[in-house]
Structure 1
């Protein structure tokens, strides 16, 4: 009798253990899920905030009409970069590499352009500038530089940032909080990028600083630092939605560590862009690429076609998206002349 009881307990425990193990596997699959885009290409992205299925369907319809081809886009963009460099007597591309997808793509594009026949580009430089940064940022940044054969420059400004923030705060009489000090990190990277470009230029190889802003983040949300990563000479991916940046990254062979990571400005430990913004980049793509192009009548028809939950999510994300756009719109206008 006792033997049967223990066998029964063992069997129940074994079943629960199997179920638990299966759940862990499925959860791991979810966290590293493959998202299939309507372009017929699979890329890895860790889900942060998901669109309602009604909105996702509309997004897929928009993507199918856009008909984006990473291969054709890369060929065209690299040719355009080479033409620009040649017509202005430029020879070196300098990119600040954060460990994120955007800078990885820009750096890889410069390498691809450099390898094209008769390219005027003689140096492709990637700069890693850790300032109180997470270890993953530098590790991914270096991996991205090495994977595309670019020249690596590492300038660690962590101690300088601590000293400078302390000097300025003492002079002003105000203690800087996390956001202000975080902005200073971005400000400090700008002169380094331009000084690196100037050093190459003084050696007879005229250099420019490459921008890393995409259509959704920089073009609409203006989710960048005005006097930081917003100060550049040439933008290469400003015509790409965030999802398309991932597609181009896959085509260019950007390392999996960057492809699989949720976009993050590394503002604090565990920070992700979408959680901070309160809406996914997919919604920005849907809203700017499709919804804003509709007439008032078409927009009302679209809203009525949504389920209650989908409409509620749409309104929530729309308000947050528009608020971010309005708050940051001054960055898109440049200096105001009164």
Structure 2
């Protein structure tokens, strides 16, 4: 039986959010809601701070199922909490203008363009957030942010604070049930929503979040692992290594003794 106490964790995070902004000149929080469980949990936590909250749905050629889940979650929270408002900004046309200005070989690079979607959303969040005196609230979990670096640098990684960055994905799901996140999101396979199709995170990574949690915590005898466990550990270690540039501070050239 899990020792994770959803009520205690939720209360702690809500208090942390309120304490964080207590002495700074902001009004509350803004969250991009994607139709996934992480953003739904963050939106639900922010709603419970009683501070001003704006929830954004920002489709860019989005799979209809993702858009619908995001909008339903936003509607649920705006109906339930007077301090919460929702906003839909269709960024498809803006993204297409951006595409048209780029060389063809850049448009042909699917990963570059997928990451550009995330960065356009980040720019939108900061524009609306600044105009309303709100902090951009991150939605990355511990596996994504500190395990395999599964986020876009200066995209969904471009935030002011992150209330769930110390939660494993399994813990996010437990918290989501406690916070009454809508059933459609609880049942959906996690996805970053950057491709305009139905591919999910496991399709991209090659391992499930449960498997990645095993790999992140593994500190035993590799000779005792199964073939699949070794494969997952290899996936985790490779991604952790190549994505260190996302997880470490920006390197600064030290000129001590030079100038």
TM-score, structure 2 normalization: 0.90
Q: Which of the two has higher C-alpha Rg?
A: 1
Q: Secondary structure at the match of 1:152?
A: strand
The partner residue of 1:317 within 232, 240, 250 is 232
Moved more, 264-273 or 78-87: 264-273
Q: Is the 8 A contact 2:31 2:56 kept in 1?
A: yes
Q: Tell me the distance in 1 between the aligned counterparts of 2:198 and 2:127.
A: 31
Cα deviation code 1:197-242 (max 9, x no counterpart): 11113xxxxx110000100111211100001010000100011000
Cα deviation code 1:32-57 (max 9, x no counterpart): xxxxxx32xxxxxxxxxxxxxxxxxx
Matches within 5 A, 1:68-107: 68-107=4-43
Mark the CA change 1:82 to 1:311 in structure 2 (over 3 Å): closer, same or farther: same
Query: 1:335 offset after TM fit, Å?
Result: 2.1
Query: 1:277 offset after TM fit, Å?
Result: 0.6
Q: Is the 8 A contact 1:100 1:141 kept in 2?
A: yes
Is 1:125 matched with 2:54? yes
Moved more, 239-248 or 136-145: 136-145
Greater helix content: 1
Q: Is the 8 A contact 2:202 2:208 kept in 1?
A: yes
Q: Tell me the distance in 2 between the aligned counterparts of 1:74 and 1:96.
A: 19
Residue in structure 1 matched with residue 87 of structure 2 by the alignment: 153
Matches within 5 A, 1:295-314: 299-300=220-221, 303=222, 306=224, 311-314=226-229
Cα deviation code 1:258-294 (max 9, x no counterpart): 00001011324220101211111112212223x1xx4
Mark the CA change 1:158 to 1:105 in structure 2 (over 3 Å): closer, same or farther: same
Q: Which runs of 4+ in 1 moved over 6 A?
A: none
Query: 1:252 offset after TM fit, Å?
Result: 0.3
Q: Is the 8 A contact 2:62 2:197 kept in 1?
A: no
Q: Secondary structure at the match of 2:48?
A: helix
Mark the CA change 1:100 to 1:182 in structure 2 (over 3 Å): closer, same or farther: same
Residue in structure 1 matched with residue 249 of structure 2 by the alignment: 334
Query: 1:320 offset after TM fit, Å?
Result: 0.8
Alignment RMSD: 1.6
Mark the CA change 1:175 to 1:271 in structure 2 (over 3 Å): closer, same or farther: closer
Q: Is the 8 A contact 2:138 2:159 kept in 1?
A: yes
Query: 1:176 offset after TM fit, Å?
Result: 3.0
TM-score, structure 1 normalization: 0.70
Residue in structure 2 matched with residue 214 of structure 1 by the alignment: 141
Q: Secondary structure at the match of 1:279?
A: coil
Residue ranges of structure 2 left out of the alignment (5+ in a row): 79-83, 254-259
Q: Is the 8 A contact 2:27 2:132 kept in 1?
A: no
Residue ranges of structure 1 left out of the alignment (5+ in a row): 1-37, 40-66, 115-120, 202-206
Residue in structure 1 matched with residue 110 of structure 2 by the alignment: 178
Query: 1:161 offset after TM fit, Å?
Result: 0.8
Q: Is the 8 A contact 1:99 1:137 kept in 2?
A: yes
Query: 1:174 offset after TM fit, Å?
Result: 4.9
Query: 1:89 offset after TM fit, Å?
Result: 3.4
